[in-house]
Amino acid sequence: MPRSNFTRLAILLLLVPLALGLLATPSAAQESRSLTPLQIEIEKQQNRLSSVEVEERRDAVMRLGLLHHPAASRAALAGLKDGLAIVRVSAATAVLGLPGDESAAALLPLLNDKDEFVRQETAYALGKTRSRIATTPLSELLTHEKKDGVRGAIVVALGDIGDEGAVVSLSQILRPEFAVTNSKKRSKKKENLLVLRAAAHSLGQIGNRAALPALLAVLQDEQAETDVRRESAIALGLIGDATALPALNGVLNADDPYLSRAAFDAARLISQRRFQ
């Protein structure tokens, strides 16, 4: 065999195993092409969560949340343990793509966060989960939370969840005399108006008759804030119990036209239900 042909054959024999190896081992580009666009985006944002830049971590968590997918929300779970509050706040919303109970379980530890804004946004997020496993922790936090912003978020969340187990806590916010407690230490601080309105609204959302005593007491209290009385009238209409009709009829001629209108609409709603 001529020397040149022998050399070509030797080179060919060396190249064949190499070529076979290249074919057997996919390149990074090939592996990347095997992932779906969603998986690629999740992986990209997940890698950004380890950045030393706060804004990059926050942006990554937000982008994961905007994907509205369980896998993306699961990747965002790491943000709940971030060292900075702004990232934890963003993560509280980003994990809502998970099933309700799963996202609620992940969020609950943040109710004890030292940062007020984190607790507030966590409460709102828990309301959006609609998970009843959050009812008791939220109600317990309401008994000792001092920040009005957080208290308001808790009250709103309890209404969004709609669990009847929250009626007692919300009634106590609306009318402290309905508190079922042996504790003699009660705060003398006047409840924030927005929190009171939210409590009445949430009781209407839940729609349980157990809320009637507190709502009726507010409606008939001429010293109570008009906005809260109006919200109580609306809530009574949503609950739909006919025993509220005398109290609603009693404020039809109230000085505040919005209160009288709310009472009229509530009474009409209850009456319509009675004849359905």
Could you tell me which of 108, 49, 109 has the C-alpha nearest to residue 84?
49
Tokens 């912003």 label which residue?
149
* pLDDT for 16: 47
Q: What is the mean pLDDT of residues 118-130?
A: 98
Contact 138, 166 (CB under 8 A): yes
Span 217-238, pLDDT tens digits: 999 999 999 999 999 999 999 9
**What distance in Å separates the CA atoms of residue 111 and residue 92, rounded to the nearest whole number?**
11
Q: What is the mean pLDDT of residues 58-75?
A: 97
Q: What is the mean pLDDT of residues 77-103?
A: 97
Fill in the DSSP letter of residue 115. S
Q: Where are the domains of the chain?
A: 38-98
**Does residue 131 have a pLDDT over 90?**
yes
Span 248-270, pLDDT tens digits: 999 999 999 999 999 999 999 99
Span 180-199, pLDDT tens digits: 554 444 455 688 999 999 99
CATH code of 38-98, in short, is: 1.25.10.10
State the pLDDT confidence band at 64, using cuts at 50, 70 and 90.
very high
**DSSP letter string over 113-157?**
-SSHHHHHHHHHHHHHHT-GGGHHHHHHHHHH---HHHHHHHHHH
Contact 51, 82 (CB under 8 A): no
**What distance in Å separates the CA atoms of residue 96 and residue 76, rounded to the nearest whole number?**
10
* Whether this model's pTM surpasses 0.85: no
Looking at every residue in the chain, the average pLDDT score rounds to 88
